[in-house]
Amino acid sequence: MKIIALLGNPNSGKTSIFNILTGSNQQVGNWPGVTVERKSGFYKKDKSICIQDLPGLYSLSPYSPDEQVARDFLSKTPPDVLINIVDSTNLERSLYLTLQLMEFGIPMVLALNMSDLVESLGKKIDTEKLSYSLGLPVVTTSAIKNKGLDEAVNLALKTHEIKPLDYDHRLEGALSEIAKVTGFTSRFDQIKAFEADKIALSVLTENQKSELEEIVNITEKIMADDRESIIVNERYDLIGHIVNLCVSDTSTGKANMT
């Protein structure tokens, strides 16, 4: 059985898409140990495909039980493929989660939902450029018009590889050193260690932690910023470039900052 997980910001249209894809084939329960609702179901058109719904998220910090559930699921029981549902009327904000999800290295498709609203806002998204910039398959969807949803599933089933995007070379250097010191093979864990995330640090020895601190201190000095801001700024810089390249204002014809 193939497992496809749906992830996205709250109000991206995830529930609407889950309901269309699974119909009445749904099981509802709770994630283990928390009162966060767990919904899964079989794809209406192929019962060998299980669709797993995850809570709506802005990040994977994890500051909330929802974020914790999603992070545990992606690290401990990774699905075969993710469909990241984004509100295409708010691409800049949505891509912040996309970049984090990509760090898990799980095959992924980007579903540009609410596509029916984009044109009326005087915007146009170049999906080919977006796909090229992110290195991800991109599909345009509208849950309200039931458009593009089967295409998203079909594309997900064909997707095999994903390469997280590179940040500034100074940060990349630090992340490679962190990989050596910690033994973390997942880029998500390396970045979390850089950020001094409690869960990432909890599995490290005192010696590993002090080596990590040394790497981070040097990087903070050469990048003249603190560890958390370095990561946030790198992500937003990259997103800014991508949005500038891929979103245009159809009323003026100019590149647009969504």
Binding residues for ligand BGO, rule: CB under 6 A, are 8, 10-16, 56, 113-114, 116-117, 142-144
Smallest separation (angstroms) from ligand BGO to the CB of 143: 3
- Tell me the C-alpha distance between 204 and 220, whole Å: 21
Least separation in angstroms between residue 87's CB and ligand BGO is 8
Closer CB to ligand BGO, residue 148 or residue 164? 148
**Of 141, 145, 78, 66, residue with least CA distance to 109:** 141
The two three-digit tokens of residue 238, written as one number: 């990259």
Whether 13 and 148 have beta carbons less than 8 Å apart is answered as: no
Ranked by CB distance to ligand BGO, the top (closest) residue is 13
Residue in 256, 236, 17 with CA at minimum distance from that of residue 126 = 256
Kindly state the smallest distance separating residue 19's Cβ from ligand BGO, in Å. 8
State which residue, 13 or 164, has the beta carbon closest to ligand BGO. Answer: 13
Residue 111 CB, shortest distance to ligand BGO, in Å, is 10
Closest to ligand BGO by CB, 108 vs 175, is: 108
Rg (CA), the chain: 19
In angstroms, rounded to a whole number, what is the distance separating the alpha carbons of residues 217 and 223?
Answer: 10
Residue 258 C-beta: closest distance to ligand BGO, Å: 16
State whether residue 186 is helix, strand or coil. coil
Residue 87's DSSP bridge partners are 113
Q: Which is nearer to ligand BGO, 60 or 178 (CB)?
A: 60
User: CA–CA separation, 99 vs 103, rounded Å?
Assistant: 7
In terms of CB distance, is 51 or 193 closer to ligand BGO? Answer: 51
